[in-house]
Every structure is written in C-alpha cells, then in structure tokens.
Amino acid sequence: MTNVQQNLETIKDHMNAALSRANRQLSDATIIAVTKAVSVERTVEVIEAGLQHLGENRPEGLNKKLDAIQSDVKWHYIGTLQTRKVKSVINHIDFLHSLDRISLAEEIEKRATSTKDCFVQVNVSEEQSKHGLSMENVESFIGELEKYSRIRVIGLMTMAPNTDDENIIRNVFRNLKQLQEKIALKKISNAPCTELSMGMSGDYEIAIEEGATFVRIGTALVGKEREGIQ
C-alpha cells in the first residue's frame, strides 16, 4: 500500500464513524483531495487510490496538473480567485468554492461557456484574515446572483477558525448549515444550495457530524511536499 492509500483508509474510517454518529449514510460526504502542495506524481497516487475529486487553489497549480493528468476527474477550485484569472480557470473546473463578490460573478458570466457549480464562500467566524461574505449578507448576495445564468449556487463553503476549541469550530459549521437549509427552502431556481463544503485535515470529523457534504482534505491525505503553501 502506498502512503496515500494508507492515509485514505484512515480518513475513510474516521469519516464513516463520524457519519454514523450523525445518523448519515456512508455515501453522504465526498472527499476532495487537496493537492495544492504536492507534485503531479503524488496527485496521480491520489487518483490511483480511487479518489475522483481534486482541489487546487492557484491557477498555476491547476493548469500544471491539468496538463499532466488526463484522467476523468472532477476539479475543484478552492482558493481566492482574482477576477483577471477567471478566464484561465473557469472552463477547466467543475466546482468553484470561493464565490464571494459580484464582480467575480460578472466575470464568470462573461467567460464561462456553460453553467458552473459554485459555492458561496462565507466567513462565519468573521476573522479578518479570511475571505468570504458575512453570514448576514449571504441571502441578499444569492438574490443578486439570480441574473447570472452561468452560475448555479449549489451550496455554501467555509473555513473554520484556527483554534483548538472544538466548540467554536462546531458552532461555525452548525451556523453555516442552518443558513444553507434556510436558503435551500426558498427553492431559488439557480441556487438549490443543498451542499456544504466544510472541514479540512484537522476538523473534517466535526464538519461531517455537522452536515458537510464535501470535505477538503490536503495534509492528512497527501502530506506536504512544498513548504509555505497556504
């Protein structure tokens, strides 16, 4: 077994335990392998281990992997996306996790050749260093997105604050789920908002207990080959 396979087994065990604690089905959560800090070779190992969803957070990293990897996988863009970089990214990805402003939506509308599945990024913890909308602005933002036919809001995304306090992390995830459910109930045609992208290497079990449907896992799965990459 490769390192990645071993790590994946461990992660799946933990995920399944968390899903069953929450009375959820085992198929309810999808792992996005965050390969931003590792090589093409390590990324290939991830695919060979059976994962079909990959996440990158920079246009350069994404394009490098796309050039080298022909496998039929789903690409998730999980980083802040500069408006001027939309053109080089948007038609190569299946999911965008960082929709956080109208100017970005406008550029996507202009550049995308088909409807794009997007998560609205929410800064639940209101940390200065984090991107995303405040909780109270999300509903009006999604309302404004109705005029962009190339954008489908499939869910909400957040990053938990850097803290060891599990309760703080859990509350962030719980608040995001409440907001997601509230929006889903509105049955907005281009914003089904049924998904929750939350949980990373350090907190994916809590995220799953609180309803995550996509977890974004890097270090715990593939380690880190390059230092200093956020």
Ligand X SMILES: *Cc1c(COP(=O)(O)O)cnc(C)c1O
Q: Binding residues for ligand X, per CB under 6 A?
A: 34, 36, 57, 78-79, 159, 200-202, 216-220
Least distance in Å: CB of 147 to ligand X? Answer: 27
Residue 112: both structure tokens together: 């995308």
Assess contact for 60 and 38: CB atoms under 8 A. Answer: no
Calpha distance 172→63 (Å, rounded) = 32
Least distance in Å: CB of 100 to ligand X? Answer: 12
CB of 192 or CB of 202, closer to ligand X? 202
Least distance in Å: CB of 190 to ligand X? Answer: 24
CB of 172 or CB of 190, closer to ligand X? 172
CB of 34 or CB of 190, closer to ligand X? 34
Least distance in Å: CB of 32 to ligand X? Answer: 8
CB of 26 or CB of 229, closer to ligand X? 229
According to DSSP, the residues that pair with 120 across neighbouring strands are 99, 156
Looking at beta carbons, which residue is closest to ligand X? Answer: 218
Continuous segment of H or E residues that includes residue 62: helix 59-68
CB of 131 or CB of 174, closer to ligand X? 131
Question: Which residue in 114, 1, 82 sits closest to 48, CA to CA?
Answer: 1
Least distance in Å: CB of 111 to ligand X? Answer: 22
Least distance in Å: CB of 1 to ligand X? Answer: 21
3-state class percentages of the chain: helix first, strand second, coil last, to nearest 5 = 45, 20, 35
42: CB partners within 8 A, 6+ apart? 4, 35, 222, 223, 225
CB of 100 or CB of 107, closer to ligand X? 100
Residue 175: both structure tokens together: 């608040």
Buried b (16+ CB within 10 A) or exposed e, 72-99: ebebbbbbebeeebbeebbeebebbbbb
